[in-house]
Structure 1
Amino acid sequence: MDGQLPLVLLLLLVASGLRGQGLEPGGPEEEPPEEEEVPEEDGILVLSQRTLGLALRKHRTLLVQFYAPWCGHCKALAPEYSKAAAMLAAESAKARLAKVDGTAETELTQEFAVTEYPTLRFFRDGNRTHPEEYTGPREADGIAEWLRRRLGPSATRLEDEEGAQTLIDSRDVVVIGFFQDLQDEDVATFLALAQDALDMTFGFTDQPELFQKFSLTKDTVVLFKKFDEGRADFPVDEELGLDLGDLSRFLLVHSMRLVMEFNSQTSPKIFAARILNHLLLFVNQTLAPHQELLAGFAEAAPPFRGQVLFVVVDVGANNDHVLQYFGLKAEEVPTLRFINMETTKKYAPAAGGPVTAASVTAFCHAVLGGQVKPYLLSQELPPDWDQRPVKTLVGKNFEQVAFDETKNVFIKFYAPWCSHCKEMAAAWEALAEKYKDHEDIVIAELDATANELEAFPVHGFPTLKYFPAGPGRKVIEYKSTRDLETFSKFLENGGQLPAEEPTVSVPETAPNASTEPKEEL
């Protein structure tokens, strides 16, 4: 047999082996194990390293929030996230919302490069390797709408005049793309923009009758609005095609009213407008003479559209924080202020002039032409500014103290409302107490919301800067741990931490943030 088993004997041995495992040849197959269920809380999938893959297989689209139990922004987002999940479930939408505790599932935070909380990632069609970063709103309606526009068409296809008019009448701002060829790549660009412009309704068409109805002869994106001039056209460049950035800016500028009233609902849009120059008219709208100024202010606005955003601030409507930011008191209104949002430089008109269309126009041209010098805020110097261990600085004494060549000066630039500033206040007081008898060391603080420094614009709170003794106006920024021990090591080592001390990134709270800040790991 040349060392080979007979076929019959081989089959008997195989059958015997199967019986030894409790399996009969030709008998019933073993039932496959039931697939694991992903746990849920309030309609939100709770994911782990083990269940993420399962969730991606079961759900075509998945929005995943990486959170930390201690994160304040995560806690604020939680009820809105749950509402959005309920809204989508009621619509039988195919998208699901999920969450991952990033502090417990460290392998997932590393896999998806999560460095701050909350971070949201959008997964489509089970693709684990290239999720989309979620940059949409943080309230329920916005989250749900962001997902809807990725689940289905982001714009309505219009076939006739009735459909077009119904869409235009449905919202205050409606955008319609008129394209002669719907296979053109410009249409894809248009639909991609529609996915994220959640505060506008979009439609598109290739119907000749609609081109004729709206007096169009070439591809054009038209913004229809129920205010100001009613319509704005963006012709598609025949050679270069539709540029996403140019169209986005056009829609953002023309979807805003020529004159915006500042309040809690409009402020996010004002800060997100990408119009760097803002002209503010401060009035008390309970007073008839102040109301009469609004017409002239609005009359001056059209030539500056896209270059200067005109804003009305009603001082009788809980806008004290805006007055404070500009160094104004309610009794000083009506008055104008101009600000460049990039440099934060502020400008004031000559005192005593009336607010008319002509004076507003002249003031804008003068600022834009560099004919008006910016002003800097400063509080009055308290008589006891140097009596406490922590010295009080204002704009008027900052240069004298910070650049005293005989002193090493450590300054905290803070905002009264900043939670991070409040958290470190005790450590800063302890530091000042510790070094109060060192004649060459000054521990100080400056309210950067009420005092502005031309040489040192402060964009985040708290900001800590060290000004070492000696000539040269040297400045060192402190970016490590905010506790007494580390502060002390920094001072004792001449404005730097010892080599063995690692630098630890600490969070900042930015003033005038147009989007909700995140918390770092």
Structure 2
Amino acid sequence: MKLFACFLLLGAALNLTFAEEIKLDEGVLVLTEQNFDQAITDNKFVLVEFYAPWCGHCKALAPEYAKAAQALADAGSEIKLAKVDATEQGPLAEKFAVRGYPTLKFFRNGEPIEYNGGRQSADIVSWVSKKTGPAATELTSVSEAETFLAANEIAIVGFFKDRETDAAKAFLSVAGSTDGFQFAITSNEDVYAKYEAKCGSVVLFKPFDDKKSVFEGEATAENLKKFVSVQSLPLIIEFNHQSAQQIFGGSIKSHLLFFVSKEAGHIEKLVEPVRDIAKKHREDVLFVTISADEEDHARIFEFFGISKEEVPVLRLIKLEDDMAKYKPESTEITPEVVEDFVQKFKDGKLKQHLLSQELPEDWDKNPVKVLVANKFDEVAMDPKKDVFVEFYAPWCGHCKQLVPIWDELGEKFKDHESIVIAKMDSTGNELEHTKISSFPTIKLFRKGDNKVIDYNNDRTLEEFVKFLEAGGSVEAESDSEETTEKVEKDEL
């Protein structure tokens, strides 16, 4: 005991620190402020998750993260996965600028880089492996190929004997620049025979649909990237936390959405029969199911103006700046309806479906006028009026804070002959000419020329009055962006 005490005193005298023992939780290193530096020093490659115990996204990631750690350990990899409870280890979270949960950083020889891969175990393994090894694993035997395919749900293999061909170079270029997937390359004749592959071919192996896809066409980097992006997704994919990044981050930006109930059997009755149609259009339109049985999907239903009582129902969305949405003419979901709907969309024959609520009978009884999409132009585009409109969302906290000020503004100008104060719920009303991407958004529709002027000043009664009395010519004195709630479009 005396010897141990002397050892501690000697360490203190020499300004030494003793690293806390690193514990394992399902194969994941549990790091703290006391053992963090030691873990990074002792391991060449470490992926660290900064999490909060109460965070829903962190909870969803936990099993996939542990699964990835186990897969790396089983493969004998020197890559380690670790986690830090950022709510308990504040100095570490501050040191690495953790501003949200989960935040993942990959430490390579002690230097951190941002993790931007997927949230499923296969995505994690693929991303960290890509950062630490060759772009494509060399397969020299059938056993190596079998091991490689067994370890990766999605695997892309190039069958090239001559690595100097343009096709082989394009393949290796895509392998090196594409995160989230594992690539391999082989010139072994036995491997060719095992997988019935031709020299110069590229094959994507997967656990769903037809199990593998063979690339066809000119093997350019651009074509190969699209092949991987398209063929790595199921013909019909279910929207959930795990698949969201695959859906929104892929190359296909047009999505046919089936709002269905899995419990009611809609998948088997209505979705499965359109599988051949999905295959026909898979390079242009992604077929996605969204379950009405999941409470987490309520915001998506709201975004499309759909109630769960309407299920099953179809919609189509084009993920571009205007987030154009389309609705089929028929309420039925049959192969014929789906094929007609998708083909008309591809041919540019569909008109956007814009949401509009019913106009309240008392819409103009109060100082603040209540607008809906179908009535908007008639009121806001009146050349004799300056119409000041707040576009809001009922769930937006900043919009709720603005209510008493906006009501006071309406009261001030209720008898003004040329100024109208109005508001519109933009979760239930959409305009073709005005797209709203954050809440609250405030715009002045100026009288005379109907010019639309964005309001970016402070949200105070004084600033609103000053802006209106100047006819919208007052320049912004402060940036209110930090107090604006953004619409999360990637959640649909």
Distance 1:482 1:365, change over 3 A: same
Match of 1:446 among 409, 424, 449: 424
On the 8 A contact 1:284/1:290 being kept in 2, the answer is: yes
On the 8 A contact 1:299/1:357 being kept in 2, the answer is: no
Quote the residue 1:192 is aligned against. 176
1:430 aligns to 2:405 (yes or no): yes
Q: Displacement, 1:476?
A: 1.7
1:374 aligns to 2:352 (yes or no): yes
The 5-angstrom pairing of residues 20-99 of structure 1 reads 43-44=30-31, 60-61=44-45, 93=79
The 5-angstrom pairing of residues 156-167 of structure 1 reads 156-167=137-148
CA distance in 1, matches of 2:46, 2:463: 43
On the 8 A contact 1:189/1:242 being kept in 2, the answer is: no
Q: Displacement, 1:226?
A: 2.8
Partner amino acid, structure 2, of 1:345 = A
On the 8 A contact 2:330/2:337 being kept in 1, the answer is: no
Distance 1:508 1:136, change over 3 A: farther
Distance 1:137 1:280, change over 3 A: closer
Distance 1:104 1:376, change over 3 A: closer
Considering Cα pairs closer than 8 Å and 6+ residues apart, tell me whether 1 or 2 has the greater RCO: 1
Quote the residue 1:7 is aligned against. none
Match of 1:179 among 160, 163, 178: 160
Distance 1:270 1:280, change over 3 A: same
On the 8 A contact 2:79/2:128 being kept in 1, the answer is: no
Distance 1:101 1:464, change over 3 A: farther
Match of 2:435 among 457, 461, 467: 457
Match of 1:301 among 254, 278, 285: 278
Quote the residue 2:10 is aligned against. none
Distance 1:482 1:204, change over 3 A: farther
CA distance in 2, matches of 1:290, 1:133: 38
The 5-angstrom pairing of residues 312-323 of structure 1 reads 312-318=289-295, 319-323=297-301
1:217 aligns to 2:194 (yes or no): no
Distance 1:283 1:33, change over 3 A: closer
On the 8 A contact 2:130/2:182 being kept in 1, the answer is: no
Q: How many residues align?
A: 454
CA distance in 1, matches of 2:310, 2:61: 43
On the 8 A contact 2:46/2:81 being kept in 1, the answer is: yes
SS in 1 for 2:215: strand
Distance 1:370 1:189, change over 3 A: closer
On the 8 A contact 1:403/1:467 being kept in 2, the answer is: no
Give the TM-score taking structure 1 as reference length: 0.69
SS in 1 for 2:258: strand
1:503 aligns to 2:484 (yes or no): no
Residues 445-486 of structure 1, C-alpha deviations (whole Å, 9 max, x = no match): 22222111011122x221423224322221122345445555
Q: Displacement, 1:87?
A: 8.5
Quote the residue 2:369 is aligned against. 391
On the 8 A contact 2:255/2:318 being kept in 1, the answer is: yes
Partner amino acid, structure 2, of 1:386 = D
Match of 2:335 among 357, 378, 385: 357
Distance 1:339 1:123, change over 3 A: same
Distance 1:140 1:211, change over 3 A: closer
Quote the residue 2:233 is aligned against. 256
On the 8 A contact 2:50/2:93 being kept in 1, the answer is: no
Q: Percent identity?
A: 32
Quote the residue 1:9 is aligned against. none
Distance 1:123 1:482, change over 3 A: farther
On the 8 A contact 2:325/2:352 being kept in 1, the answer is: yes
Distance 1:209 1:88, change over 3 A: closer
CA distance in 1, matches of 2:471, 2:21: 54
CA distance in 2, matches of 1:423, 1:34: 51
CA distance in 1, matches of 2:265, 2:487: 37
In our comparison, the structure showing a higher alpha carbon Rg is: 1
Distance 1:453 1:180, change over 3 A: same
On the 8 A contact 1:80/1:139 being kept in 2, the answer is: no
Partner amino acid, structure 1, of 2:213 = A
Distance 1:38 1:144, change over 3 A: farther
SS in 1 for 2:390: strand
Distance 1:80 1:504, change over 3 A: same
On the 8 A contact 2:258/2:312 being kept in 1, the answer is: yes
1:348 aligns to 2:348 (yes or no): no
